Structure 1
């Protein structure tokens, strides 16, 4: 097998993520994630670690040389800081108007007098973003303003990342409880997104309170709504008003009115909407302002948690984060309630009996104000919260894998990620190597998270979107996964071949909702979310963190999925795709960003750009 990692003894130098200047480290992280997404989505081969990746951008007349720190079988490459390859000017070319230039390719620059050299010079995030995005804009024949917008988001993300790193390096004291520690760990963001921390429409002061990376906390903004304009639903018989009154304790609520919560940023924005302004003017909706105890944002920014609350709230937030404005759509909120009812009609009981270590966090209720029209921006989903009162220690998988930077003196951190610390603990407890501990961790993760999801799909045709931010695991004392959770009402699919069976359990299964899809489409999406994003992403993280050889882990993964294929005939279509297809459909976050698409709006088939990605599972041998 080709060595994908760092060659023994290769002098790659300090990791740019550990640079003493947090804004330099933030820019380095931004360039690395942008280039990682770019090479994946343009099918550019990456040389072995210690080599140089040379990228040409003919639309801008620029070439970059990028040191390869780690080459990944699953695409989670690590790069050093890129440099511009300065091409010698052609003979007779004029660098300054009206001034002749010597034909000598290394003659002095006519302005500075410095020699013109073909040696690389350092590139910054602005240049890297500009040339990569311009290349995509020109090749895809997109309007140029889309490129400008995408570049601005990349640079905003880089600046925000620098701020997060500076704050985290300066803080001391004990870490928060495991649930919040993982939710607040994503300082660098999604490893395959070009602008993972872009939040352009919020001020620095606002983000102090609203950002999980800054350990923010804020009180909800409350509205009092006339019952005649309150809409919502619940899967367990309780009215949304009943659920919310318990959360609005201490709020001075006018008699007969219903409390409706909002994110404070959203509360200011919705008052500008004509439909909300009309409700306020008619006295049917009254802004009450901030009240109650503080809530803490989780990794999605808009979902908030309070350790003493029985539920979490997924608030509408019209701020653009990554590729989307996070406004809750009533269709997806109804989908969450419908899914909760479907699970209660039988599949949930089967899941608890077969896999008591795995749970689905339901978005079992929702509420808003405004009837007979579009969303008002006050739509809120109400979610299960098992992580309260010191109970449970589920940790967001994205937070477990999130890379940490050094303490600020140029040295690396003790553990590059929470996963690194857990694996080290496991290795000590079991007396094995870090590589063997990684293989055991992956095998247990498959048991508590992947196998239940695949079996639910096989038995009932119910499929979910379990990417890293939507899945959680709890670790035992040795660091091994012992329980798993899925969350998010947006990601439910029912395979068309099983719809009639499920309609016998829940007759109104798909009434008014986009829930039932062709089996092939469902398999394709599960192969992306569970296969590429979650499982192959986990393998890539182990490799990029220096914990294990990806080839070894791919063999562990393939063996487990082959055993499941033999035991679960209903999963054969999905597992044939994951194990044997030479290529898998993969969301292209870079191209989706450049296209300016909002992934929460429009037809589910075209919300994002998808590409064909070579399937490493089809190539690996047991």
Structure 2
């Protein structure tokens, strides 16, 4: 089996040495960077007789690179006059940067630093996680499992380059839990849209003010910009929430289980491709995309649910900086007796994952597909709604035996409408999110744990059940669209400006 960890993973409370952390952080950080390089730039070459390794050529520089494994490549080596030489993470970053300068004809002084920041963040997370106690709730364990994170991004764990002490208290991967800061915003400066009453349950504002929960990390990041508002009374500090919240995989979205609500905040830090602010233009169109998604799920003949982004509240003088978005909790949507799990957590692995315990992986996979695929295709076909149905936006609910019985999708900010983007572009985005980013990864993780399982005939059968004109071409196509996160970041393209390259389709010939 091909697994992410090349060393035994630490468990809560286990001591780890600096050498352990260094080796594990280097190995984990290399995996997504290599995935990007091999997908987007490198070209396969004939093997050199070592069946445990694959050889690739970097076309611009002409160098040969070999790695161990396929789905999660590790142990990179570069060919020299004296034979194969292992590459540490620092050397790998240098090699990638040199190749990209030649390959694209442009330079980028930021991305190599982000790659290093991502690796250093991993080291801090591994150290903190070894001393942390995982949450008892399996749902939260799945949300906080993503040590590797996005498997095809060059710097998935970068945290803006700041000292670890500034962000570790809020890191889901370190099993953080923390109180929110409570602010009072002068009532005549409040801007809100939709249903935001859930915010008022977190505390009490004085007369003439409205309550506004704030993420402590964001509050520190924008402290200088907010200082005049605190000085003139537009903002007042009201302490902290009585109960802690739990950061989810998205980092800036937190779960408040006592209130059964999710809150999504602005965060002025680059996480993967984007600065994670709640941008004004996204907030202003949110009601439209959320309403379309809600209507699509309401009409679906399945237990699938949409976690609605019901509204936002902010201050007119800090519209994006202080914005907070209210999202439905699980209680009003989850089937009785079912447990929600993050799909990305299933791929990463966590204690109690049903991928590890199922005795019938074929039946489990068929049940998973029957829950995850129909609502995404149905929303597209009947309502023109393109869900961002990737791993981090998908919750799969399982019964007491670990079998999938329901799917819950989320994040109206990522939803596109066919009438805005066009059917062809919408379909390409859906195929990337649902098939390439989502199903391919869950299928690979399941097959790792259950050798001999071929997950793709079941995917073909599930897709073929749906009467969309695009399905026959999808099943016959030799390629699928793969997003080019490395080249996007290197060339400085907007994170929302997805570009795709053709990847060999595992659906072909099944």
Tell me, yes or no, whether TM beats 0.5.
Answer: yes
Q: What runs of 5+ residues in structure 2 fail to find an aligned partner? A: 10-18
Q: Quote the residue 1:54 is aligned against.
A: 55
* 8 A contact 1:62–1:131 mirrored in 2: no
Matched, 1:179 2:139: yes
Paired with 2:44 and 2:463, the residues of 1 have a C-alpha distance of 28
CA 577–246 in structure 1, closer or farther in 2 if over 3 Å, else same? farther
What is the number of residues matched between the two proteins?
Answer: 497
Q: Quote the residue 2:444 is aligned against.
A: 540
Q: Aligned with 2:245: secondary structure? A: strand
CA 246–230 in structure 1, closer or farther in 2 if over 3 Å, else same? same
Q: Quote the residue 1:341 is aligned against.
A: 291
Q: Quote the residue 2:274 is aligned against.
A: 324
1:80 to 74, 78, 90: 74
1:491 to 386, 393, 414: 414
Cα deviation per residue 1:462-482 (whole Å; 9 max; x = unaligned)?
Answer: 221110010011112222111
Paired with 2:284 and 2:338, the residues of 1 have a C-alpha distance of 28
Q: Quote the residue 2:16 is aligned against.
A: none
Q: Aligned with 2:179: secondary structure? A: strand
Alignment root-mean-square deviation, CA: 2.9
2:235 to 280, 285, 299: 285
* 8 A contact 2:43–2:57 mirrored in 1: no
Q: Quote the residue 1:102 is aligned against.
A: none
Q: Quote the residue 2:220 is aligned against.
A: 268
Matched, 1:127 2:60: no
Cα deviation per residue 1:405-441 (whole Å; 9 max; x = unaligned)?
Answer: xxxxxxxxxxxx558x5244321xxxxxxxxx22222
Q: Quote the residue 2:405 is aligned against.
A: 482
* 8 A contact 2:77–2:84 mirrored in 1: yes
Q: Quote the residue 1:616 is aligned against.
A: 506
So what's the TM-score if we normalise by structure 2? 0.89
Q: CA deviation at 1:200?
A: 2.9
Q: Quote the residue 2:383 is aligned against.
A: 460
Q: Quote the residue 1:589 is aligned against.
A: 485
* 8 A contact 2:143–2:342 mirrored in 1: yes
Q: Aligned with 1:30: secondary structure? A: helix
So what's the TM-score if we normalise by structure 1? 0.74
Paired with 2:337 and 2:169, the residues of 1 have a C-alpha distance of 26
Matched, 1:384 2:313: no
* 8 A contact 1:59–1:134 mirrored in 2: no
Q: CA deviation at 1:449?
A: 1.6
Cα deviation per residue 1:199-246 (whole Å; 9 max; x = unaligned)?
Answer: 134422233311001111222122211222111111xxx4x3x43221
* 8 A contact 1:23–1:163 mirrored in 2: no
CA 16–347 in structure 1, closer or farther in 2 if over 3 Å, else same? closer
Q: CA deviation at 1:620?
A: 2.5
CA 349–85 in structure 1, closer or farther in 2 if over 3 Å, else same? closer
Counterparts of 1:173-572 in structure 2, within 5 Å, are 175-234=135-194, 238=195, 240=196, 242-248=197-203, 251=204, 253-273=205-225, 276-277=226-227, 279-342=229-292, 346-351=295-300, 354-356=301-303, 358-370=304-316, 375-386=319-330, 393-403=339-349, 417=350, 421-427=353-359, 437-496=360-419, 516-543=420-447, 545-549=448-452, 552-564=454-466, 568=467, 571-572=468-469
Cα deviation per residue 1:578-616 (whole Å; 9 max; x = unaligned)?
Answer: 3223333321122122223452xxxx5xx2332222322
Q: What runs of 5+ residues in structure 1 fail to find an aligned partner? A: 7-11, 72-76, 88-117, 404-416, 428-436, 497-515
CA 155–191 in structure 1, closer or farther in 2 if over 3 Å, else same? same
Q: Aligned with 1:305: secondary structure? A: strand
Q: CA deviation at 1:491?
A: 2.0
Q: CA deviation at 1:60?
A: 6.4
Report the structure number with the largest CA radius of gyration: 1
Cα deviation per residue 1:542-583 (whole Å; 9 max; x = unaligned)?
Answer: 33x242446x2111111221122xxx3xx222x234322333
Paired with 2:240 and 2:269, the residues of 1 have a C-alpha distance of 19
